[in-house]
Amino acid sequence: MLAILRDLLRYNLEFRIGLALVAIVLVMAGLSFVSPYPAGDVFVVPPDIPPSITHWLGTTSRGQDVFWQLTLAIRNTLGFGIMVAVLSRVIAIVVGLLAGYSGGWIDRVLMSINDTFIIIPLFPILILFYFVLRDTMSTPLLATIMACLGWAYDARLIRSIALSLKTREFTQTSIFSGMKTHEILAREHLPYVLPIVFSTTMNNMNWSIGIEVTLAVLGFTDINTPTIGGMIYWANQHTALVAGIWWWIAFPVALVAMTFVGLFLLAVSMNEYIDPRSRLARMGGGR
């Protein structure tokens, strides 16, 4: 996997741009740990001040510094996306590898469950969960629910690779050498699906962040926890655009757009690397 990342960094411009954008977002998130203001406090600075030397990105009508609030918001939003991506990748890898390698009734049962999750309308289900669990809804709980709903497409993709790996000579050698199923999947097959896992992780983070921002803007999450969607929600509640406080919405939107583009470019560049023809053409052109 490290060799793949090295080749991407050397030959793929999209990967370098995506990595730079994500690095900027990560730096913003890291700055939240040195924020001079507590996360949930309001009216700690004068309200409605436009961007200036004192307040780089201005202040909100709630008396919060937009820059420091943005660092907290992007940290929580990124953490949410990572949580969903990691949990859903675990489910997708286990289901995809097991179904593809085992075949037979195990494959049919797992793919039947998989197809059921594919056709579930996710957004209405998430809104329903919010109204049912409104008093106990938290960021980890929402992330767990989304992870349990967001693994099916990628599990089918991993299964297709596992079906191919099952017929390879090294798999038969592993079986004859006495390796158990979980050992074959973990040691022999998993390394082959890691590039796909990396690509789908970036896409899943984009999906989960987009859903979280949408739910937060509509008020269907914990709006008191700083997130990008939460910032936009409060800006709408205070009619920021009508009042001319454009920076309260513009900077959160710009930062989350940068996050989307960065993650998308990382995913696209990995997809190109997985395709042998695209990889050879790009590496040949780089030389």
Over residues 42-64, the mean pLDDT reads: 92
Q: Cα angle at 100 between 96 and 102, to 5 degrees?
A: 115
CATH architecture type of domain 2-283: Orthogonal Bundle (1.10)
Is the entire prediction scored with pTM above 0.85? yes
DSSP letter for 54, please: S
Beta bridge partners of residue 65, listed in sequence order = 59
DSSP letter for 36, please: S
Exposure of 95 in the CB half-sphere (CA atoms within 13 A): 24
Tally Cβ neighbours within 10 Å of residue 24: 14
Over residues 204-211, the mean pLDDT reads: 93
Quote the mean pLDDT of the chain: 88
Give yes or no for residue 81 having a pLDDT over 60: yes
Which of 200-212 are b and which e, b meaning 16 or more Cβ less than 10 Å from the residue's Cβ? bbbbbbbbbbebb
How far is residue 256 from each of residues 49, 71, 198, 231, 238, measured CA to CA in Å?
A: 22, 11, 20, 11, 21
Give yes or no for residue 52 having a pLDDT over 50: yes
**Coil, strand, or helix at residue 282?**
helix
Q: How confident is the model at residue 281 (pLDDT cuts 50, 70, 90)?
A: low
